[in-house]
Amino acid sequence: MKYYVLYKPYGYLSKFIDEDKHKGLQHLVKVPKDVYPVGRLDVDSEGLLILTNDNFLKHRMLTPQFRHKRVYAVQVDGQATQVHINLLKQGVQISVEGKAYKTLPPHQVRLLSDVHFPERIPPVRFRKNIPTSWIELTLTEGKNRQVRRMTAAVGIPTLRLIRTAIENISIVNFAEGELREMTKSEIYSKLNLSEK
């Protein structure tokens, strides 16, 4: 079995083929042919992707009943305040496949004051009269574009989204596009999974 952690940059798909002018992961990394990403990050999102050929791990990570913490650093349009944080903490009403859905209360939400992420290429748009700010959201569910829908619902639309951690696996000290291989025992331990 093979296990990798990747810091996916902005503009890349979470799969190994190109689509609609967007590049797939084959332009970034070389891994065995049977290794695939577990879950996804949208083309306009960045951060941690796990790649493996371990079907048990894929099942545990992708089945909603086995909730696991995913941490996102989110740059938002406007000044995030404690009011926004409190609204997010309660769970918010979003639309999922055309139906109203109330998100589970996040595991954690907080304002971030000190962020050190590499500049995005292309850069996030800036408007002189409107500040941007950063929050950190830790979710245990993963609806399509959930973070973006949640921040928009409370009035601070997402400008930049970076998944920084899944359980105890983090991309702190990773460079964009960096791939690191892990052992089975290491990744299972960090994901709080018991080895079969």
Q: What are the backbone angles phi and psi of residue 182, rounded to the nearest 5°?
A: -125, 160
Residues, the chain: 196
CA distance 159 to 133: 10
At 186, which helix (H) or strand (E)?
A: helix 184-190
> Which of 20, 42, 54, 77 is flagged as catalytic?
42
Query: Is residue 151 classed as helix, strand or coil in its secondary structure?
Result: helix
Q: Are 78 and 156 in contact (CB under 8 A)?
A: yes
Closest Cα partner for 176 from 59, 89, 49? 49
Q: Are 40 and 142 in contact (CB under 8 A)?
A: no
Q: Are 42 and 182 in contact (CB under 8 A)?
A: no
- Whether 42 is catalytic: yes
Which two three-digit tokens encode residue 46?
A: 């960045």
Residues assigned a catalytic role: 42
